């Protein structure tokens, strides 16, 4: 593997807290090397953005299912059961 890919993997493992022993090494490298610390911070930002994107996609898919369940004629009995629960 190329050095940059190895470094990315090390940072990923650090951010995902997969190897406690390696985390200490990464902590020290961040203290010694400000450029490496910047890489860790940028990769952390990417992780957060990917997570947010995944949440938005999941939310959209859930809304599609909800719309289908509450409007499609083939789910009429389900719709009536739900309405009866909330009428009480």
CB contact burial 58-82 (16+ within 10 A = b; e otherwise): eeeeeeeeeeeeeeeeeeeeeeeee
- State the alpha helices, DSSP H only, in the chain: 3-15, 20-32, 34-71, 76-87
Per residue in 7-55, pLDDT tens? 999 999 999 998 888 899 999 999 999 999 999 999 999 999 999 999 9
Single pTM value for the model: 0.70
> Residue 55 sits in which domain range?
3-87
Domain count, the chain: 1
Per residue in 56-75, pLDDT tens? 999 999 999 999 999 999 99
């Amino acid at each position: 593997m190329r050095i940059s890919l190895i470094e990315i993997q090390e940072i990923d493992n650090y951010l995902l807290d997969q190897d406690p022993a390696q985390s200490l090494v990464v902590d020290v490298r961040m203290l010694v090397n400000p450029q490496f610390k910047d890489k860790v911070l940028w990769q952390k930002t990417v992780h957060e953005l990917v997570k947010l994107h995944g949440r938005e996609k999941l939310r959209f898919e859930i809304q599609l299912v909800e719309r289908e369940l509450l409007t499609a004629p083939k789910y009429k009995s389900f719709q009536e059961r739900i309405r009866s629960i909330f009428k009480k």
